[in-house]
Structures are given as C-alpha cells and as structure tokens.
Amino acid sequence: MKKIGMGLIGPGFVAAHHLDAVRRLGDVDIVAIAGSSQQSTEKKAQAYKVDRAYGDYKALIADADVQEIHNTTPNHLHLPVTLAALQVGKHVISDKPLALNAEEGRKLRDAAVAAKVAHVVTFNYRGNPLIQQARGMVARGETGPLSFIHGYYLQDWMNDPNGPIFFRGRYHMFHQYNPQAAVWGNMNWGHAVSSDMIHWKHEPIALSPTPGGPDRDGVFSGSAVLDNGKATVIYTGVAPPTSESEATLRDGVHTWREAQCLALAQDDDLRTWKKLLDPVIAAPPPGLAVTGFRDPCVWREGNSWMLIVGSGVQHKGGAILLYNSPDLRHWTYLHTLVEGSSANAKGVNPVDTGEMWECPDFFPLGGKHVLLISTMGKVRWKVGTYASRRFTPEKEGVVDCGAYYAAKTMLDADGGRILWGWITETRPDADLIAAGWAGVMSLPRVLSLNSENELQMDVAPAAHQLRAAHTSISRDATAAAHQKQLEDLRLHDLAAELIFEVRSSADEFAIHLQCETGEKFATISYANKSGSRELRVDTMSAPISGESASPVRLHIYLDGSVLEIFANETTSLTKRVYQVPSGPLTLKLEGAAELTLLEAWQMKPISRDRLIGR
C-alpha cells in the first residue's frame, strides 16, 4: 500500500504532538517540515528526525511528494497557509482554531469543497474523558459553585503583563501569550480590556510574530505609550542571529538576536496594529558584551522620549541601558542607568545567576523614582534619586517573595500607580499540559512609599466590589468571643478576602487554613528570631517590617490555587496551592497569639460561569 506523504508547517511546541500521532498510524510518511527560517527549521527537522526542511511554507506546499498538510502555525496564519494548500489540491489538517473568525472559516470551507479535498480541525477537548468527567460533575452539582477572582485563560499559556494602559475610558492589558499550548513558547501579545481593572474581556491577539521579520520567533515584552494621543507599543522581537556575534539571548535552550520593534494602533479599540518593518533599536551598543537585550520601558521626559532596556554585561552583572529619542523611532544610547555586580554564580541562563536584569520598569513615586527589575526568580525594587538622567538607588527590596514575576506598572484613571505581575506556576509542565492552561495575572496593586521610602502596596480598592457575605470580629469582644467566631467561620469555594491583626506574646504563631476534618490546605506562620521577623506560607518565607512587639497585619486574597498575602504593607508573598479541599475551609490559630482583628468576605466570581466576562 502506498503511503500518504505528509508535510507540517509550523514546527513549534504543538508540532511534536502531530508528528507523534502521525508516526503511530503506519500508513503516512512525514516528508518535510516548514518554519519561519531555513536555519531554525533545519534544527527542528534534525530534532524531529524529518529529512526535508523548508524556510518558506510555500516551498513545502509545492513539494510533489506531499499530499497532506498539517498546519500548526500561529492562529493568524491559519487562513493564508491553509488556503494556499487547499488551492493546489492538498488535504489539510489544521490545529485549532480553524481561523480567526467565521468569515475566514467560510472561505476555507468553500475552498475545500471546491478542491474536493479533506479539511480537518483538531479540536478534541470536549471529547477528552477528563473534560467529560468534569462537565458531568459540574452538571450534577458535585463541585459546588465555581468562583474565580483573578483573570486567566481557559486554555494555553500566559505570562508577563505587557504595556498595560488606560485609554479612552478602558484599561487595556497586553501580555505574553502562547495560543498553541499550556507551556512557554510561540510568544504573542494577548489582549484583554476592562472598565474597572477587575472584570476583563478577551480581545483578539494583538501582535503575533511576522514571518521573515525581526520578531519571527517571538513577540516578547514591552511597553505602551500615547504619542500625540495615538497608542504606540515598543517591544522586543526575537529572530535567529545571522552570526554568533549577533546573538544576545543565550539561555541554554535558545540562541536569538533581540531587537526593539515598534507598532502603531490602527483603531481606538487597540485591536489592529501596524508594525514598522525594521527595528527602532536593532542591536545593543557596539562593544558591549551583553547577556540580554530586551523588555523596553518607555516614558516622556520634557521634549524627549526615554527608554530603558533590560540587559547585563558578561562577568560584571545585570545592567539597565538608557536611550533617548525625539520621535520614538530614532534612538541614541546614552549610558547605563544603573549596574549590578557579578554574583560569580554558575549557570547557563544569565537571568538565573543575576547577570541579566529583565522586565525593567521605571517611574516617579512619592518624590522619588522606583526601578523594578526581574532576575533570579524575583522582582526587585530600587528606590532612589533620578537627576540629570542618572539614577542613584538608596533603598532596595523584593516586591513579592513568592510565585510572582515580570511586574509592570501603569497609571489608573485617577493617576495612581498600579502594579501588575505574572503569578507563575509551580507545578511540572506535564501537569500544565494535562490542565490545558497556565499562568495567572495578579490582582491590581496600588503602590506608594512609606516614611522610610520603602515600597509598599495593597490590592486596589476596585477589588472591594467582589466582596459578598461578611464576618467580622470586633476589637472589643472577649477572647472567648473571638475564639467562638473564629471556630464558626467557613470559607467556601476557595474564594475569600481576609484581614487579620495578630498580637503575639511569643516568638511564633501560625494560622492554619484547613478543612473541618483537619485536612491542611495552607499554613501561614510568623517567627521572630533575634529581632528579625519573618512571614512563612508553607515552605516560602519573607521578612516582615516593624518592631518585635508590634502587631502583624495580614491582608489575604484566596482564589482557587492562588494566595496573595500582604503583611504590614511592605511585605507580599504569593503562593500557589494546587490541593483541592474536601469541603469549606476553617481557620485555626496556633500559638500564644491574640487575634485582635478579623474581617472575612466571601468573594464573588468575576462572571457567573467563566473566568473572563464576555
């Protein structure tokens, strides 16, 4: 029996699943694959054990040995790639979705009918046994109400917040997004909009890699600004280097050239964007041996635009590079805004060793300036003085000591400084793939400086609209009354807001979130050793400000697997807890501590049965 010749276009993460499934059939030959460049596709072909590699999808479609095309390209390429294959009589199996909208879908259907070829879409989530079981449990009422407070996707991967901006009465959140899988890769800019920073609606993907362009391998992080009222974004595009000396990103897995690119909004809904063909900053400053060159942050200063890029210098440490421009298109390198020092740590990825500072953000706050950088798994803040385009740090600390990264700020409708962050996953990739989604956006946090010029934060008051049933313990009640109210409190559906104030006469106390059966969900504890106070959430820890005898004030948001915890305003710690409790949670206070204040609210989901409003 003659085998069918199969060609695959789009050799990203999901391609491996298609190739594996085809190889199991036995009557199909994998002839070739095609990608965005000849060099990168040849590497993929070698890894996938495929003989032929094309840097142009049209060349693969023209291959006479290929009768069937698998289209695993990014979503915005489904129409042109599939249509080109159908028009020459090739059968097509397209990864989901068929197209970006119904009109495109009808065009593909008509082309398939005219060509008398098979046209298939691989969308099988609804038939997955796990999905069917979950659907049945919800229908039978076995799960209880589904409550979600944070914004995230029902499927696929999201990470860094990018270019959040308030524009024409709405908040726009762009972010890193992989529409093809629940793991990192194939970076696009996702887009959601909100009127209140709490209830969000998904929009179409804003920016995707351009085949053959400077961002052909990924649209990385960046910023959004208004230039004479027109929304403009500057972001990092990645592509294969033409030579080893061009590479700026080497993390042990990828080798890429990073460049800063610009796109202009073509409508007031910020749905359509037009990219400049060439980068506005094509390479790092000459002679600088950088460990990275990405994630631009842009602001207006007098008559000039200013821009910083996250970077680092080999064997010297992380660094932030400063540029200026009259028009957002022509940039001049000035100098480093601030530099770190080498930790002399061993590692392949310079971000892990601290020799690369990524996702920088720089802004005025409370008479000072604040620089945020992400490195070594944490977001770090530096508060200091900015004068004559030089920044002198005076205080520094960690924004969040838990599962929180790549923070980005914006101004709200009232001019307040709002912080967003990517709440990272702490479970294996296999679990993410099984779940079908990964990544959560934090609740909006309002930033300020305290009297010591330390960064402090709390969740924006906009989140108060999610408060439902309320329980409180008054300061005037007896200890016995406090204990009785605590014992009677129940937190349902893993959706709650809690405010505690605890005064301890000992060096340690703990608050256990547990089921009525005693089954533990999470433990929040406090320790005071040698005058150094510490907050712990299971195995994570963070320092707490204040004198040893002063009370500890905790503000906690519980939403499914997410715990966002704030202590004494200057400490925050985000924890992922993937355990599903068997019933409502109770609170148990352990240790020689007095609960002087407790307020608890059940939280309402941001929509009735979805994670994001429609």
Do the Cβ atoms of 581 and 521 come closer than 8 Å? Answer: yes
- Per the listing, tokens 């060609």 go with 7
Do the Cβ atoms of 420 and 161 come closer than 8 Å? Answer: yes
Measure the CA–CA gap between 307 and 291, rounded to whole angstroms. 18
List Cβ neighbours of 464 (8 Å cut-off, separation of 6 or more). none
Domains of the chain by start residue, with CATH: 4-123 (3.40.50.720), 156-459 (2.115.10.20), 467-603 (2.60.120.560)
Query: Residue 325 burial by CB count (10 A; 0-12/13-18/19+): exposed, middle or buried?
Result: middle
Q: What are phi and psi of 260, to 5 degrees?
A: -95, 125
List Cβ neighbours of 144 (8 Å cut-off, separation of 6 or more). 492, 493
The whole-number pLDDT of residue 614 equals 30
CA atoms within a 13 Å half-sphere pointing along the CA-CB vector of 49: 5
- Name the pairing type of β-strands 28-34 and 52-54: parallel
Q: Give the tokens for residue 295.
A: 């994630």
Closest CA to 297 of 198, 200, 160, 404: 160
The whole-number pLDDT of residue 581 equals 93
Q: Give the tokens for residue 592.
A: 């020689």
Measure the CA–CA gap between 78 and 115, rounded to whole angstroms. 18
pTM for the full predicted model: 0.79
Measure the CA–CA gap between 184 and 439, rounded to whole angstroms. 10
| Cα end-to-end span (Å), the chain | 50
One-character DSSP codes across 553-605: EEEEEEETTEEEEEETTTEEEEEE-----SS-EEEEEEEEEEEEEEEEEEE--
Which H or E run contains 156?
A: strand 156-167
- Name the pairing type of β-strands 170-178 and 552-559: unpaired
| Three-class HEC string of 402-423 | CCEEEEEEEECCCCCEEEEEEE
- Name the pairing type of β-strands 378-387 and 437-438: unpaired
Closest CA to 350 of 281, 290, 296, 424: 290
Q: Give the tokens for residue 6.
A: 């199969």
Tens digit of each residue's pLDDT (9 = 90 or more) over 115-156? 999 999 987 666 666 667 777 777 777 766 665 566 655 668
The whole-number pLDDT of residue 124 equals 65
DSSP state of 472: E
CA atoms within a 13 Å half-sphere pointing along the CA-CB vector of 21: 9
Tens digit of each residue's pLDDT (9 = 90 or more) over 29-42? 999 999 988 988 99
Taking phi first (over 0 means left), then psi (-120 to 50 degrees means alpha), and beta for anything else, what does residue 541 get? beta
Q: What are phi and psi of 362, to 5 degrees?
A: -140, 130
One-character DSSP codes across 336-374: EEEE--------SSHHHHTS--EEEEEEEETTEEEEEEE
The whole-number pLDDT of residue 39 equals 87
List Cβ neighbours of 351 (8 Å cut-off, separation of 6 or more). 251, 292, 358, 374, 375, 376
Do the Cβ atoms of 57 and 41 come closer than 8 Å? Answer: no
Q: Cβ of 168: how many Cβ atoms within 10 Å?
A: 10
| Three-class HEC string of 167-206 | ECCEEEEEEEEECCCCCCCCCEEEEEEECCCCCEEEEEEE
* Distance set, CA 303 to CA 170, 227, 325, 541, 609 (Å): 27, 12, 9, 45, 48
Catalytic annotation, residues = 160
For the chain, helix (H) and strand (E) counts, in that order, are 9, 38
Measure the CA–CA gap between 550 and 540, rounded to whole angstroms. 22
Tens digit of each residue's pLDDT (9 = 90 or more) over 248-288? 999 999 999 999 999 999 999 999 999 999 999 999 999 99
Q: Cβ of 398: how many Cβ atoms within 10 Å?
A: 17
Residue ranges of the chain with pLDDT lower than 70? 1, 13, 124-131, 143-155, 475, 607-614
Do the Cβ atoms of 526 and 590 come closer than 8 Å? Answer: no
List Cβ neighbours of 117 (8 Å cut-off, separation of 6 or more). 86, 89, 90, 91, 92
DSSP state of 150: S
* Distance set, CA 518 to CA 175, 480, 512, 535 (Å): 39, 21, 9, 22
Amino acid found at 548: S
State the helix-helix crossing angle for 78-87 and 102-115, rounded to 10 degrees.
Answer: 10
List Cβ neighbours of 324 (8 Å cut-off, separation of 6 or more). 301, 304, 305, 306, 307, 331, 332, 334, 389
Do the Cβ atoms of 158 and 176 come closer than 8 Å? Answer: yes
